[in-house]
Amino acid sequence: MTTPAAVLVDAAAYAVAVETATKAAAAYYATGESALDDDAYDRLARGIAAYEAAHPDEISADSPSGKVAGGAVVGDVPHTVPMLSLDNVFGGDEFTVWAASVERRIGRPVERWSVEPKLDGLAVAARYEEGRLARLITRGDGLAGEDVSHAIGMIMGLPDRLTEPVTLEVRGEVLMTTDQFEQANTLRTSHGGTPFANPRSAAAGSVRAKDRPYQVEMTFFAYAALPISDTGADLAASLAALPHGEVLTYVAGLGVHTTAGTTVPPRTVTDAEAVRVRVEEIAALRAELPFGIDGIVIKADAAADQLAAGSGSRAPRWAIAWKLPAVEKVTRLLDVEWNVGRTGTIAPRAVLEPVEIDGSTVAYATLHNPNDITRRDLRIGDHVMVYKAGDIIPRVEAPVAHLRTGDEKAIVFPEVCPQCGSEIDTSEQRWRCVRGRNCHVVASISYAAGRDQFDIEGLGATRVVQLVDSGLIADIGDLFTLTREQILGLDRMGETSTDNLLAAIERAKGQPLSRVLAALGVRGTGRSMSRRIARHFASMELLCAADEAAMQRVDGIGVEKAPTIVAELAELAGLVEKLRAAGVNMIEPGATPPSDDPAASEDGEVAAPGGPLDGMTVVVTGAMTGPLEKLSRNQVNELIERAGGKSSSSVSKRTSLLVAGENAGSKREKAEQLGTRIASPDEFAELIAELLDDSDSAADGADGAGGDSAAAAGR
C-alpha cells in the first residue's frame, strides 16, 4: 500500500516541511528517536521532493532531498567507500516500475535478484585487520561516521576474530532482538533509567553510549563486505567479482552473523514476479521474527549488473528498499488506567485512540511505572508515538511535544490503591498496594486455580468472587479447608457441582511443586521459571531455606532476580505453611535435591536422568493433535522436562527435536534449514508414551502428575 505524499501548497508550507523533516532526521540519527513516525517522515519527504520538482528554483540548501541520513551529520572517521542509503518503493507496482528502469539503464534483463530483509537498526562498518576486529564506525552522513569501537564485545555476531586472517570491511546493521530489548530494558530501569522506546533506538543509543554503568547485548547482521586499502589484491578482486549472495555466504563462513540462519534468509530469484512472491513471504513472517524489519531489500545479485547500473550520491541504482507499513504510529493518549495485578502491583496503562499498527488495532499500551510517566512528561490529550512489533507488547514511546495545543491535562496518580483503598508503597519504581497479594485476592486466587497452576476445574472468577464475598476464603490456602456444607450454602451450588469442586480441590493437592510455586505467584518468576526452580531444589523445604547465593545457582536467576525471589518467598512463608498443613504436595517428583557442593548441585537440575528425552532440547510449535490435543503448551513443556528433556521456545543449533503440529510456521522452516529432527504430535506422543499414561491418570483423579512416592512423601 502506497502512502500518499504530503501536499505542500506554498513556499511557506515547503519551508516548514523542510525544517520539520531536517529536525526529525537529526533526532533520528542522533538518538534513534524522532517525533515523526516512519510513514509520516516518508510522506513529508515525498511532499518536499514533489514541491521541489515543481519549483526547482525554490529548492532550499537545507532540503533533506538527495542526502544520506536526511542531511543529519555525525562523525569524523572517513568511510573508505561512501555508506549509501537506499531509495524506497511502497508496493508491487512501484517495484515493477523501478525494476524496469534498472533494466532499461543496463540495457538487458537483470540476471538475478537477491531478496533479503531490511533490518531495522543502526548501520555500522566493522573493519577487520588480518582477521581481528579493529574498528567499528557508524554510518554518519555516509561519507564519515563516528568511531564506536568501545561497543566491540557487546555485539553478538561480530566476532573479535574471523576464521581466516583476512583484511576487509563488513557492513551491516546492529539491532536488538526482542529478548535483548527486554533484557536491556530490565537492566536500564533497574538503574533508574527510562525504558528504551523501541529496539532500534535502544540499539542506536547503546552503540554510541560510552559511560553506562551497565552493558547491554546487541546483534549484528551483515549485508555487505568490501576491501579496504591493505586488503590483498586477490581477495579484493574476488570480492568485487562475487555475486551479492555469495559475498554473504563468504562472510558467514568467516564467522560473521548474517540473516542466513534465520527464517528469512537471503534468496536469489530470477524475475520481478518471483521477487513479489518472496516479498510477500517475508512480510508474512514479520510478526513472528525475533528482530525488527522495516522492509525488504532487493538487489541486483550479479556484480556485472551492479556495475552497469552504478550508484548516485545518495543510493545505489541496483538496489531498492520495499518498505513495509511502519510499526510506530502517532495517536492520542485518551486516559490512563491504573490496574492492580494479582501480586498487588499497580500498573499504569495508556488508553489510546485506536490505531492500526502492523495489522492489528492498538487501543491500549503499557506505561511501565509512574516515574516513567513523570520523566516523559506525558499528559492526557497528548499525541504519543506508539510502538508495536511482533510479540512486543504495545508501548508508548514519547509525547510529540510540538503538537500540543495547551489543552492537555496532567495525569493524576492514585493516592490510594485503586482496588482496595489502602496505602500505596511507592518506595520502588513499581508501585504496590501495601496489602500486596492480599489486595486483589480474587485475581490471585483465580490465577492459582488456573489450568497451568492448581488446575481446579469449576473454580472460575465468578465462583471465586462468591467465595471471597461470603467470607469463606481470603487466600488460596483457605480453598483446601472448605467443607461440603460451606460450598453447598452458596447460591447456585447444587450437590453435584459441590462434589465436583471438592474432588477438583482434592486433586489439586497432588500437583507437583512447580505448579504449587506457579500458583503462589512469586514475583520475578513465571511458569517455566517455576519449573526450573522446582527441579533445582526438589522440595519446598530446601527452596525456602535457600539464600541469594543458592538461588543464583538456578539457571536463569542472576544477581538482579535472586534477592526479589528470596524476599518473596519469605513474604509467602505463612501461606506456604497453610498449604502444607492442608495437605498440599511440596515435592517435585523425579527431581534430585542439590548437594552442598555448588558444582555438584548443577546435577540437581538435570531432569529425570534416563528418561526418553534425556539430554535433549525440545521445541513445540503449531497445534497439537491426537493424545496431546487437550494439553496446554505449559503441560507439554512439563512432560518434556519430566522425560529428561529441556523445553525451549525457539529453534537454534542446540535444538534436538522440533514437535511440529498443524500450522507450524517459521519454527518449522528454521528447523528444516538447520536439519533439526522434526516429529509430528503423534510421533512425539509415542516417544513419551509412558509419561502420557501418568498424566492421564492425574487428570482422572489419581495422584498428581507423576504421582510417585516422592509426591506422597510430601503430604
Binding-site residue set for NAD(+): 38-42, 85-86, 116, 139, 173, 299, 323
Identify the residue whose cell numbers are 513523570.
374
Of the pair 118, 435, the CB lying nearest ligand IVH is at: 118
| Length of the chain measured in residues | 715
Minimum CB–partner distance for residue 250 and ligand IVH (Å): 16
Distances (CA, A) of 463 to 235, 493, 701: 73, 10, 22
Q: To which H or E segment does residue 134 belong?
A: strand 132-138
119 is a site residue for ligand IVH (CB under 6 A): yes
Instruction: Return the closest-CA partner of residue 253 out of 330, 344, 164.
Output: 164
Instruction: Provide the 3-class DSSP secondary structure of residue 462.
Output: helix
Contacting range for ligand IVH; rule: CB under 6 A; set: 114-122, 183-191, 197-205, 347-355: 114-122
Using the rule CB under 6 A, which residue among 22, 34, 63, 85 binds ligand IVH? 85
Using the rule CB under 6 A, which residue among 21, 89, 110, 123 binds ligand IVH? 123
Using the rule CB under 6 A, which residue among 261, 316, 414, 563 binds ligand IVH? 316
Instruction: Return the closest-CA partner of residue 620 out of 676, 679, 672.
Output: 679
Per-residue x/- marks for ligand IVH, 193-232, CB under 6 A?
Answer: ------------------------------xx--------
Minimum CB–partner distance for residue 5 and ligand IVH (Å): 18
Provide DSSP, 52-75.
Answer: HHH-GGG--TT--TT-GGGG----
Distances (CA, A) of 90 to 93, 114, 321, 323: 8, 18, 8, 5
Contacting range for ligand IVH; rule: CB under 6 A; set: 113-121, 368-376, 555-563, 665-673: 113-121
d(CA 175, CA 205): 11
Of the pair 225, 658, the CB lying nearest ligand IVH is at: 225
Using the rule CB under 6 A, which residue among 33, 52, 116, 568 binds ligand IVH? 116
89 is a site residue for ligand IVH (CB under 6 A): no
**Are the C-beta atoms of residues 516 and 585 closer than 8 Å to each other?**
yes
**Which distant-in-sequence residues (6+ apart) come within 8 Å of 658 by Cβ?**
618, 619, 620, 621, 651, 664, 667, 668, 671, 676, 677, 678, 679
Q: To which H or E segment does residue 706 belong?
A: none
d(CA 663, CA 627): 18
262 is a site residue for ligand IVH (CB under 6 A): no
Minimum CB–partner distance for residue 683 and ligand IVH (Å): 38
**Are the C-beta atoms of residues 258 and 297 closer than 8 Å to each other?**
no
d(CA 632, CA 456): 15
Give me 490's grid cell: 452458596
DSSP, res 325? P
Please pick, among 23, 67, 118, 646, the residue that the annotation labels catalytic: 118
305 is a site residue for ligand IVH (CB under 6 A): no
Minimum CB–partner distance for residue 673 and ligand IVH (Å): 18
Residue nearest to ligand IVH (CB): 123
Using the rule CB under 6 A, which residue among 137, 319, 330, 691 binds ligand IVH? 319
Of the pair 193, 316, the CB lying nearest ligand IVH is at: 316
Using the rule CB under 6 A, which residue among 37, 38, 141, 173 binds ligand IVH? 173
DSSP, res 16? H
Of the pair 45, 533, the CB lying nearest ligand IVH is at: 45
Minimum CB–partner distance for residue 35 and ligand IVH (Å): 19
Bridge partners of 623? 662
| Radius of gyration from C-alpha coordinates of the chain | 29
d(CA 642, CA 619): 15
268 is a site residue for ligand IVH (CB under 6 A): no
Say what the alpha-carbon torsion angle 508, 509, 512, 513 is, to the nearest 10 degrees: 120
**Are the C-beta atoms of residues 342 and 437 closer than 8 Å to each other?**
yes
Of the pair 315, 664, the CB lying nearest ligand IVH is at: 315
d(CA 354, CA 335): 12
Contacting range for ligand IVH; rule: CB under 6 A; set: 24-32, 116-124, 404-412, 670-678: 116-124
Minimum CB–partner distance for residue 28 and ligand IVH (Å): 11
Give me 680's grid cell: 509430528
Half-sphere exposure at residue 363, Cβ-oriented, CA atoms within 13 angstroms: 2
Say what the alpha-carbon torsion angle 439, 478, 524, 399 is, to the nearest 10 degrees: -30
Minimum CB–partner distance for residue 15 and ligand IVH (Å): 26
Using the rule CB under 6 A, which residue among 35, 155, 297, 608 binds ligand IVH? 297
321 is a site residue for ligand IVH (CB under 6 A): yes
**Are the C-beta atoms of residues 296 and 279 closer than 8 Å to each other?**
yes
Bridge partners of 221? 173
Contacting range for ligand IVH; rule: CB under 6 A; set: 118-126, 227-235, 392-400, 544-552: 118-126
Of the pair 175, 631, the CB lying nearest ligand IVH is at: 175
Contacting range for ligand IVH; rule: CB under 6 A; set: 7-15, 313-321, 507-515, 615-623: 313-321
DSSP, res 626? G
Which residues fall in the annotated binding site for Zn(2+)? 417, 420, 439
d(CA 366, CA 540): 34
Contacting range for ligand IVH; rule: CB under 6 A; set: 9-17, 24-32, 111-119, 187-195: 111-119
Contacting range for ligand IVH; rule: CB under 6 A; set: 82-90, 146-154, 401-409, 495-503: 82-90
Minimum CB–partner distance for residue 70 and ligand IVH (Å): 11
118 labelled catalytic:
yes
Minimum CB–partner distance for residue 87 and ligand IVH (Å): 9
Provide DSSP, 354-388.
Answer: EEEETTEEEEEEE---HHHHHHHT-EET-EEEEE-
Residues in the interface with ligand IVH (CB under 6 A) total 14
Using the rule CB under 6 A, which residue among 84, 443, 456, 631 binds ligand IVH? 84
Using the rule CB under 6 A, which residue among 17, 86, 155, 184 binds ligand IVH? 86
118 is a site residue for ligand IVH (CB under 6 A): yes
Minimum CB–partner distance for residue 85 and ligand IVH (Å): 5
Of the pair 42, 641, the CB lying nearest ligand IVH is at: 42
**Are the C-beta atoms of residues 704 and 516 closer than 8 Å to each other?**
no
Q: Which residues bind ligand IVH (CB under 6 A)?
A: 84-86, 116, 118-119, 123, 173, 223-224, 297, 316, 319, 321
- Catalytic residue set: 118
